[in-house]
Amino acid sequence: MKKNILVLCTGNSCRSQMAHGFLNALASDYATIYSAGIETHGLNAGAVSIMKEAGIDISSHTSNHVDEYQGIQWDFILTVCDHAKENCPYLPAPKAKRFHHNFFDPSKVEGSSEENHDAFLKTREQIREYIITFVNENLT
C-alpha cells in the first residue's frame, strides 16, 4: 500500500513545491505526495523554472492550505522551514513519522538575476539531496 506524504512549508510556493516535485519523480511508486502551507502564496515562478532545469515540471502544482487535507492518514510529514514547523496547526497524525529540515528560502533573495538563479539552484540541490536520502531510508 502506498504511503501518504505531506510536505509542509509557510506558503506552499517554493521549497515544499520543489520537495513535492522530487518526491513525485523519485517515489510515486511508493507514495502519494501532497504539499501544503500554513498560508498559500501561489506557485513561485523561480521554483518552477529551477525545477524545469532539473527536468521536473511542477508548473501544474497548486498552492494548497494544510486544512484542505483534513482526514488523510499521514505516514510521513516533512516540514521544510522553521516557520511552518513552529506555527503549523495541530495535525492529528498519530502514526506519522515527522521530519524537519530548514531550507533557505531563495525567494527572499533580492539581487541580480544571476544571484537569484544561484539561490534557487543552491536550495534546489539541497532539497534534492535531502529527498534522495529520505526516499532511500524510508521508502525503498
Q: Which of 5, 7, 9, 66 is catalytic?
A: 9
88 is an active site residue: yes
14 is an active site residue: no
65 burial type by CB count under 10 A (0-12 exposed, 13-18 middle, 19+ buried): middle
For residues 74 and 95, give the distance between their C-alpha atoms in angstroms, rounded to a whole number. Answer: 7
| SS3 state of residue 43 | coil
Q: Which of 3, 39, 72, 88 is catalytic?
A: 88
Q: Which of 47, 56, 81, 96 is catalytic?
A: 81
Catalytic residues: 9, 81, 88
